[in-house]
Amino acid sequence: MKSFHQPVLLAEVIKHLIYDIHGTYVDSTFGGGGHARSILKEISNKGKLIAFDQDQFSIIKNKICDKRIILFNANFSKIKRILKASKKQVKVSGILADLGVSSYQINTPQRGFSIRFNNILDMRMDLSKTKSALNIIKTYSFENLNNLFYKYGDFKKPQIISRKILLNRKFINTTFDLVKLFNNNINFLSRLFQALRIEVNDEINALKKLLKQARTLLKKGGRLAIISYHSLEDRLVKNFFKTGNIHGIIRSDNQGNNLSTFHKRYTKRIFPTKQEIYTNPRAKSAILRITQKI
Ligand SMILES: C[S@@+](CC[C@H](N)C(=O)[O-])C[C@H]1O[C@@H](n2cnc3c(N)ncnc32)[C@H](O)[C@@H]1O
């Protein structure tokens, strides 16, 4: 079984993110350390990499021994506070976020992320948190279930799914209980699992917090690279890059010039090539956006 993580859009990330080889960079989603290893190869002896992952096992399993890297087992939503508290560099040259789960997490049956293995419905990236997918199944109201399946799973009629869960929640404990209950195609089940995972890990709120802090953490000319795998995340990133705020509201000066923090159209969206998707199917829905602070 493949449990290592093949980094997505690696060459493209490195090409646009690293513009100063002596700079300090942040990998906010360390995962299998794939992007981190390449960043370390690219930067000089004076350069630094500060990496975050909220999954303690990703850090333990994939730790890199290099004096230029500092690893934090923490949520990237606390990036500013952690950098400040640890007296590490507060202004950085670039920040990368490769959102979602790693192959290691998906391929570890007991983490309960995958429709391929039978296990308790867990899906927590941070195992110190109490809310799991099973808690959601057992306790959420009809309205809250509808909301999450609509927003995070793109289901147009979430009520059908929520009703079925409410009627059967007593009998649902494992990933296969859910798979059997819906007895549907892989696309449907993947969206169902994805919606639960996004809710369990509060992924959209964490991304909003990261974006807001990145704005002040970046030096002038610094780069922000985000790889997203869901239209909701990508829309948030697009609007943030365009306007400099997470509400996507354009602020202009008296002359009507956009007062965004970022260069307009620094790059277009970058997609993986057919060849990359062929060798790494996880890359299929990836969209990379990179911007530069003005
Ligand atoms: C797609 S993987 C990153 C893979 C990595 N780029 C590589 O090349 O190996 C995403 C990782 O980010 C972590 N993660 C997701 N959301 C996070 C958050 N809010 N704070 C910290 N880590 C997060 C996950 O635990 C997972 O290990």
Per-residue pLDDT tens over the stretch 60-88: 999 999 999 999 999 999 999 998 887 76
Instruction: State whether the beta carbon of 153 lies less than 6 angstroms from ligand 1.
Output: no
Cα dihedral 83→87→88→91 (10° resolution):
70
Instruction: State whether the beta carbon of 276 lies less than 6 angstroms from ligand 1.
Output: no
Domain 10-104+203-292 shares a fold with domain 127-200: no
Query: In angstroms, rounded to a whole number, what is the distance separating the alpha carbons of residues 136 and 138?
Result: 5
Which among 217, 236, 216, 218 is positioned nearest to 226, based on CA atoms?
236
Which atom belonging to ligand 1 lies closest to the Cα atom of 34? Answer: 8
| Span of 24-28, 94-98, 227-231, 245-249 with lowest mean pLDDT | 245-249
Which CATH architecture describes the domain 10-104+203-292? 3-Layer(aba) Sandwich (3.40)
For the chain, the domains span 10-104+203-292, 127-200
Which atom belonging to ligand 1 lies closest to the Cα atom of 227? Answer: 1
Topology classification of domain 127-200:
DNA polymerase; domain 1 (1.10.150)
Query: Of all protein residues, whose CA lies closest to atom 14 belonging to ligand 1?
Result: 29
Instruction: State whether the beta carbon of 31 lies less than 6 angstroms from ligand 1.
Output: yes
Model confidence, pTM: 0.94
Mean pLDDT along residues 200-206: 98
DSSP one-letter string for 25-41 = EEES--TTSHHHHHHHH
Contact 78, 58 (CB under 8 A): no
Grouping H, G, I as helix, E, B as strand and the rest as coil, residue 51 is strand
Mean pLDDT rounded to a whole number for the chain:
93
For position 267, what pLDDT does the model report? Answer: 74
Query: In angstroms, rounded to a whole number, what is the distance separating the alpha carbons of residues 28 and 206?
Result: 11
Instruction: State whether the beta carbon of 226 lies less than 6 angstroms from ligand 1.
Output: no
Contact 99, 233 (CB under 8 A): yes
| Residues in CB range of 197: below 8 A, 6 or more apart | 101, 113, 123, 133, 203
Instruction: State whether the beta carbon of 75 lies less than 6 angstroms from ligand 1.
Output: yes
Contact 76, 205 (CB under 8 A): no
For position 88, what pLDDT does the model report? Answer: 65
Beta-ladder partners of 292: 223
Instruction: State whether the beta carbon of 33 lies less than 6 angstroms from ligand 1.
Output: yes
* Phi, psi of 165, rounded to the nearest 5 degrees: -65, -45
Neighbour-count burial of 78, counting CB atoms closer than 10 A to its CB (0-12 exposed, 13-18 middle, 19+ buried): middle
Share of the chain above pLDDT 90, in %: 83
DSSP one-letter string for 125-167 = SSTT----HHHHHHH--HHHHHHHHHHHH--S-HHHHHHHHHH
State in Å: Cα 153 to ligand 1 middle: 20
Relative to beta strand 287-292, strand 48-52 is unpaired
